[in-house]
């Protein structure tokens, strides 16, 4: 469960401002004032996101012998969401402040606090003080004053008047109140998080469909198609990546919780323990395997192990069908929060789809000579939350020659740009020509850029801030010695390399940095 441990090395505001400044992530629909809960990836962010997705796909599909990848639709038959339980149960409790802010909250996100009720008394006319119809709930008089000044004064028409706040004796109690204006909250009401749209040209006669709130169901409904065409026996997995939509009540914390986001999910179908042959991993052993493997994946891509931890959901809080759920939590600047969930879903989903579709999705086990519904272990992670974790973990501020240097020490395979070729003098055509040619040669093997839009110091700073592992300068000496200088992002060390060996050297460095595949 999330707690409030704070990081001292980076704040969310720092990451947000770096993202905006360097073209990583922008607020969605920015020129129209934004659309809450949406974010757009800019030129650098699009590369980073793509690299994160590729790294996951490589580790989960291409490097393995036991997982197939698919790409299902965003729009699924409405019965899918009845079968999965989303129509009935995919809800959050919503409540509103009765105070002037009218802010809306997820009731389960509001913490209980000990508060007292404060009366608002207009004492402008001392002889005839007037108590207003207002209830401010706050832990202290100071906090009540803050609420009053920010929200209530104007709403009650008390600007310019003398006002006294008075604690009502005996009113102190522990409860949930608006953390923004101290107002009482409405009773929670359940709110379905699925977004809907209509299919068909005439709205009145068209069918209501849901935008998928998770990618997982697209996998379950393709279980039989994928298994038979890939000629798979248990255990094996099906993975997919793609957009999901949730009408989150309180999207917040940048790309941590948004209304449109991407997921990377894998459903690993395995034998229930009673059908396992000697030496085969049981379902619980696969659950354990995926917990560890998924955490390792983040570490292999450079996340500090100390910023990751497991949170095992207590047995009494598990869904009735789940035999275990573990979150991998990351220490974001907002505290420990869920990054990925790994769930043992039993045979719930396939059984539900069998019932609702009337199709037999059981597996025939040739060794046990019987049919049964496989068990499923599901590692499910958000792309955007993963990007945010990589950004926060890579962010460094250093002092170099009395100046602040900001570096994004991303794993080389995640770095949006691998190499930047910079001519030392933009007004020397021979240098420019060589630099262009080198950038073009590199581009055939990795994402490389050419840049001559500033002094060398400024160009280094820009590349450091977006995490480019190598900057290559072509200088006047290059014309004589046919060599260039390669500067390493993290150490800032420089080495002189013959220009015609640069591609080979950087390719070898990149290859050497490739994360090892998982033990299977």
Residue nearest to ligand GAP (CB): 382
Cβ proximity to ligand GAP: between 196 and 370 the closer is: 196
Q: In the 8-state DSSP scheme, what is residue 207?
A: E
- Alpha-carbon distance of 337 to 252, in angstroms, equals 13
Distance in Å, CB of 342 to ligand GAP, minimum: 9
Which tokens is 10 given?
């980076």
Which two tokens mark 214?
């998770």
Nearer to ligand GAP, 250 or 447 (CB): 250
474 touches 435 (CB < 8 A):
yes
The answer, yes or no, to whether the previous bond of 235 is cis (omega within 30 of 0) is yes
In whole angstroms, the minimum distance from the beta carbon of 415 to ligand GAP comes to 22
Q: Give the residue with the Cβ less far from ligand GAP, 152 or 254.
A: 254
Q: Which of 375, 374, 385, 353 is nearest to 264 (CA)?
A: 385
User: What pairs with residue 208 in β-bridges?
Assistant: 198
Nearer to ligand GAP, 152 or 332 (CB): 332
User: What does DSSP assign to residue 23?
Assistant: T
Q: Which residue lies nearer to ligand GAP by CB, 134 or 216?
A: 216
Tokens of 293: 């493997």
CB of 25 to ligand GAP, least distance (A): 13
**Shorter beta-carbon distance to ligand GAP: residue 258 or 468:** 258
Phi (first) and psi of residue 278, to 5 degrees: -55, 135
Helices 12-21 and 383-394 cross at an angle (nearest 10°) of 100
CA dist 48 and 391 (Å) reads 10
Residue ranges in contact with ligand GAP by CB under 6 A: 214, 216, 246, 248, 257-258, 261, 263, 265, 338-341, 378, 380-382, 384-385
Closest CB 60 distance from ligand GAP, rounded Å: 14
The nearer residue to ligand GAP, 81 or 261, going by C-beta atoms, is 261
Least distance between ligand GAP and beta carbon 26 (Å) = 17
Please enumerate in sequence order all residues whose Cβ is within 8 A of that of 196, keeping only pairs 6 or more positions apart, or say none.
208, 209, 210, 211
Q: How far is the CB of 246 from ligand GAP (least distance, A)?
A: 5
| Nearest distance from C-beta of residue 405 to ligand GAP, angstroms | 31
């Amino acid at each position: 469960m999330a707690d409030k441990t704070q990081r001292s090395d980076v704040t969310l505001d720092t990451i947000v401002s770096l993202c905006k400044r360097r073209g990583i992530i922008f607020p969605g629909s920015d020129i129209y004032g934004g659309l809450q809960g949406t974010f757009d990836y800019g030129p650098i962010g699009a590369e980073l996101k793509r690299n994160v997705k590729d790294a996951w796909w490589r580790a989960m599909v291409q490097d393995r012998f036991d997982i197939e990848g698919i790409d299902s639709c965003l729009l699924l038959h409405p019965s899918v969401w009845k079968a999965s339980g989303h129509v009935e149960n995919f809800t959050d409790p919503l409540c509103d402040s009765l105070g002037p802010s009218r802010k809306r909250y997820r009731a389960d996100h509001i913490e209980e606090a000990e508060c007292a009720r404060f009366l608002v008394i207009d004492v402008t006319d001392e002889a005839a003080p007037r108590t207003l119809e207002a209830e401010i709930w706050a832990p202290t008089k100071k906090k009540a004053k803050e609420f009053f000044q920010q929200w209530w004064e104007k709403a009650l028409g008390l600007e310019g008047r003398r006002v006294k706040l008075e604690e009502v004796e005996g009113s102190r109690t522990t409860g949930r109140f608006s953390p923004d204006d101290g107002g009482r909250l409405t009773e929670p009401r359940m709110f379905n998080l699925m977004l809907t749209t209509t299919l068909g040209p005439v709205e009145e006669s068209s069918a209501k469909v849901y935008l998928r709130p998770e990618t997982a169901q697209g996998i379950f409904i393709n279980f039989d198609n994928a298994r038979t065409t890939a000629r798979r026996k248990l255990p094996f997995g099906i993975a997919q990546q793609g957009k999901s939509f949730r009408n989150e009540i309180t999207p917040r914390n940048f790309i941590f919780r948004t209304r449109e986001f991407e997921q990377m999910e894998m459903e690993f179908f395995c034998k229930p323990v009673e059908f396992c042959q000697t030496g085969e991993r049981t379902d619980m052993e696969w659950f354990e395997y995926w917990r560890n493997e998924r955490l390792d994946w983040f570490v292999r891509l450079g996340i500090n192990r100390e910023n990751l931890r497991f949170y095992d959901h207590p047995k009494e809080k598990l869904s009735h069908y789940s035999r275990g759920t573990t979150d991998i939590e990351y220490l974001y600047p907002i505290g420990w929060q869920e990054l990925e969930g790994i769930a043992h879903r039993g045979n719930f989903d396939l059984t539900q789809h069998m019932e609702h579709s009337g199709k037999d999705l059981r597996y025939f086990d040739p060794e046990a000579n019987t049919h049964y519904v496989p068990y499923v272990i599901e590692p499910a992670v958000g792309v955007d939350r993963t990007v945010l974790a990589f950004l926060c973990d890579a962010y460094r501020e250093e002092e170099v020659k009395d100046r602040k240097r900001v570096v994004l020490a991303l794993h080389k395979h995640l770095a949006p740009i691998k190499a930047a070729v910079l001519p030392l003098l933009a007004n020397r055509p021979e240098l420019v020509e060589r630099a262009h040619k080198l950038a073009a040669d590199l581009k055939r093997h990795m994402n490389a850029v050419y840049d001559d839009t500033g002094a060398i110091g400024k160009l280094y700073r820009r590349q450091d801030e977006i995490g480019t592992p190598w900057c290559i300068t072509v200088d006047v000496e290059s014309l004589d010695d046919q060599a260039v200088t390669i500067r390493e992002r993290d150490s800032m060390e420089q080495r002189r390399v013959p220009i015609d060996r640069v591609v080979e050297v950087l390719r070898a460095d990149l290859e050497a940095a490739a994360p090892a595949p998982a033990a299977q």
